[in-house]
Chains A and B, each alone.
Chain A
Amino acid sequence: EVQLVQSGAEVKKPGESLKISCKGSGYSFTSYWIGWVRQMPGKGLEWMGIIYPGDSDTRYSPSFQGQVTISADKSISTAYLQWSSLKASDTAMYYCARTYYDSTGLLDYWGQGTLVTVSS
């Protein structure tokens, strides 16, 4: 069974750093892309970027380029999303999902989400 399990909720202050994780199991983690999707409170879905854990090839949405870093450790089947200096506007639910870097880019299996709250 394909599963993506994300790290738990975080409460941080503006300016702090953060790294959240997404651990895959039940499939070949290095053979599929992992994507990150943001959902701000009461809002829709936003595609942030993707990584191919096999070689760490990474693509970012222009909206998120330079704002976050996506990485992966294939030895432990885990992808990461990190911030060096959080802002209140980073408060959101973040989902990871297995995806395809192709004509559709569909996301077929999703993690349960990690809620990030940034508040002073």
Chain B
Amino acid sequence: IQLTQSPSSLSASVGDRVTITCRASQGISSYLAWYQQKPGKAPKLLIYAASTLQSGVPSRFSGSGSGTDFTLTISSLQPEDFATYYCQHQNTFGQGTKLEIK
């Protein structure tokens, strides 16, 4: 299975609503996780089972989708959200989406 994220990079402003997409090469039901990685830090689990928020993750993060198409949405960008985001299914990661400040 391959996971393709889009876009690869994205510029946005504080307060913007942002959506990142992850497409699987074949159906994976809802078995998808999302991670956030800041420079020099380990990845952090944000969402699993496509839409379940990991404990402690702010509610401005949400996930949706099933089958082959998934989205990660940040409803109102905060300064600390500028990072790289990865989707993952079992032994496969997407290539990452770098979210930068406009």
- Taking beta carbons and an 8 Å cutoff, which residues of A are in contact with B? 37, 44-47, 61, 95, 97, 103-108, 110-113
Contacting B42 at CB < 8 Å: which of A61, A106, A111? A111
Contact A47 B45, beta carbon cutoff 8 Å:
no
Contact A105 B96, beta carbon cutoff 8 Å:
no
Contact A104 B43, beta carbon cutoff 8 Å:
no
Mask, B35-49, CB within 8 Å of A = 1, is: 101000011110011
CA distance A44 to B42 in the complex (A): 12
Chain A's closest residue to B44 (CB) is A110
CA distance A95 to B86 in the complex (A): 15
Q: How far is the CB of A1 from chain B (nearest CB, A)?
A: 12
Contacting B86 at CB < 8 Å: which of A44, A110, A111? A44
Binds A, one of B11-19, B58-66, B72-80, B87-95: B87-95
Chain A's closest residue to B33 (CB) is A106
Contact B32 A44, beta carbon cutoff 8 Å:
no
CA distance A50 to B16 in the complex (A): 38
Chain A neighbourhood of B89, CB < 8 A = 104-105
Contact A104 B32, beta carbon cutoff 8 Å:
yes
Chain B's closest residue to A111 (CB) is B42
Contact A47 B93, beta carbon cutoff 8 Å:
yes
Known contacts A104-B33, A107-B43, A110-B42, A45 near B93 by CB under 8 Å = yes
Q: How far is the CB of B99 from chain A (nearest CB, A)?
A: 14
Chain A's closest residue to B55 (CB) is A108
A-B contact pairs, 11 of them (CB 8 A): A44-B96, A45-B43, A45-B88, A61-B91, A95-B43, A97-B42, A104-B33, A105-B89, A106-B33, A110-B44, A113-B42
